[in-house]
A and B are shown apart, each in its own frame.
Chain A
Amino acid sequence: MTASTSAPSTSAMLQLRGLGKSFELHHQHGARLDVLDEVELTLHAGECVVLSGPSGVGKSSLLRVIYANYRPSRGVVRVRHDGDWLDLAEATPHQVLEVRRRTLGYVSQFLRVIPRVPALDIVAEPLLETGLSTQEARQRAGTLLHRLNVPERLWLLPPGTFSGGEQQRVNIARGLIVSRPLLLLDEPTASLDADNRVVVAELLEEARAAGSAVLGIFHDEDMRDRVATRLFPMRPFQIT
C-alpha cells in the first residue's frame, strides 16, 4: 500500500490515510484486538474497487470503519460530501447521518428485519427520507424488487420469514434504491443464484456509469471479475 502524496483529483470520492482500528475489550482482561493498520486508499468516481485477501484480514471491518459504524482508532476517512472533503473520524453524529443519507451507502450481508414492516416499505424507506411521496417511493421500490426477482406476493409481507436469498435481495434493493455517490458492499450476493447475481452486477454497472464509486467485498470469483475495475489486496495486521 503506497501513500498517495498528490492532491486529491476532482474525481476522488474517498481517501483513507493511515487508517487503523483496534478493539479494546474491557471485560476480557483488557484484551486489545488489532484489526487494521496504516490503510491507505483513494477511490475515484466510476471505479469499483474490490477488497481481496484471506478471511479475517479485516475487509468487513474496513467497510464498517468507512461507514462510521466502527470508530477508527487512528487516521482519517475523508469522504467527498457536497463537493467538500469531510473526515468522518472527526465528524459529528449529525454530519455522519447526513453523509449516510445522501452520499454514503452500505449494503451488508444480512437484512436487519424490522418487525411488522412489509418488504416494500423497507425498500422504500430511504427514498421517503429524501422527501419523496409515499406513493412514488413505493412504486420505485416495486420496480427494483421486480428487477431483483422478488415475487410480488412477498412485497406486502414483513421479510422475517423470507429465505436467505430473498432477504438479501430486499437488502440490496434497500441499499441501492437511493443513488449515492459512494457505495460500500459487504458480500451482498453471497446467498444469490447466478441469475440474480447478474442483476446485481448490472445494477452496480449502472451505478458506476452514473458516477458512483463502489468499494466491495465479493468472495465469488465470477462476480469479482465481472464488477471489479481494480483489486485492493489487504494483508494481515503486522504484529510489532
Chain B
Amino acid sequence: MSALLQVRGLSHNYGQRIGCQDVSFDLHPGELLCIVGESGSGKSTLLKTAAAQLTASSGSVRYHQRDGAWLDLDELSEADRRRLAREEWGFVTQNPRDGLRLNVSAGANVAERLMALGMRNYGQLREIARGWLERVEIDPSRIDDPPTAFSGGMQQRLQIARTLVTQPRLVFMDEPTAGLDVSVQARILDLLRRLVNELGLAAVMVTHDLAVARLLAARTMVMQGGRVVETGLTDQILDDPQHPYTQLLVSSVLTT
C-alpha cells in the first residue's frame, strides 16, 4: 500500500525557539494518526507545518494527489496550496469559531466549499447542506440559523460538516473535542469515528487525551519538547509504553 502523506525530517522553529524538530512519518489512505503530548510539546506546530499552514524550517512533506502525482509541499505555489486545501484536504480547528464563518447561516457555512469548487445550483447546495446537517445530528430546519445561535458542540459538528462536505481525502484536526463537555465530546468522537470509516478518510489528529487516541487512532505518535519520542500502534503505546515520558503520560490518566 502506498502512502498518502510522507513527512521527512520536518522542523519548524519560531526564531530561536523550537516548534517541532526532525519529525518523520507516513500516513496511509484511510488511516487516522493521533499526535499526543502535553501543551507546548509541538503537536499543533507539527500539524500546521504538515498541512502547509506554517512554512517548514527544514525537512519535507510530500502528498500523493488524487490524480496520482506526488506533490512537494514546499514547492507548491500559493494557488496550488489553496486548491489542495479546498479540494483534497480539510482542517478542523479546536475552536469552531476559528473555522466557521460566523456572520452567515449554517447552510452557507456548509455550502461554501462546494461553491468554491464551482457548484452554482442553489437548490442542490441546499439539499447537500441539509443532508450534512442531518449527518452531523443538527436539525436540518436550523439551516438558516447563524452558527452564533448554536451551542459549542453544535458549532464543532457544523465545522466538521463544513469541512467534510467536499469529501476530502485528508483531514487535519487540532484538538477537535477539547473544551467541550464530556457527553458532547463523546458524541463528536462517535461522529468522527463513523465519518472517518464511512468516507475512508485519512486524518491526522492532535489531542492531549489518550482515550481519544485509543478510540479513534490505529497509530499514535508521542511528542515531547518538539520531538517525537515514541511512535507505534496506539494500543502498544498505551499498554506497553517504552519511553519515560510516554510512561508518565499513560500513568497520569485518571481511570473511573
Contact = CB atoms under 8 A, between A and B. Distances in A.
A–B interface present (Cβ within 8 A): yes
Interface of A: 23-27, 64, 68-71, 93-94, 96-97, 114-117, 128
B242 A97 contact: no
Contacts of B248: 26-27
A84 to B, nearest CB: 16
Interface string B30-74: 000000000000000000000000000000000000000000000
Interface stretch (B95-103, B112-120, B186-194): B186-194
A71 B242 contact: yes
A193 to B, nearest CB: 28
B247 interface: yes
A64 B233 CA distance: 13
Contact of A97 (B197, B233, B243): B233
Contacts of A68: 233, 236
B162 interface: no
Contact of A71 (B197, B236, B251): B236
A114 B193 CA distance: 10
A3 B139 CA distance: 64
Contacts of A97: 218-219, 233
B87 to A, nearest CB: 26
Contacts of A64: 239-240
Interface of B: 1, 26, 28, 186-187, 189-190, 193, 197, 215, 218-219, 231-233, 235-236, 239-240, 242-244, 247-248, 251
A107 to B, nearest CB: 14
7 contacts: A24-B242, A26-B244, A27-B244, A69-B233, A71-B232, A93-B231, A115-B190
A138 to B, nearest CB: 14
A70 B236 CA distance: 6
A25 B235 CA distance: 18
A64 B239 CA distance: 10
Nearest to B26: A94
A209 B87 CA distance: 50
A26 B186 CA distance: 32
Contacts of B247: 25-27
A42 to B, nearest CB: 25
B8 to A, nearest CB: 16
A72 to B, nearest CB: 10
A97 B218 CA distance: 8
Nearest to A21: B240
Closest 7 A/B residue pairs (Cβ): A26-B244, A115-B186, A116-B190, A70-B240, A93-B233, A69-B235, A93-B219
A177 B232 CA distance: 26
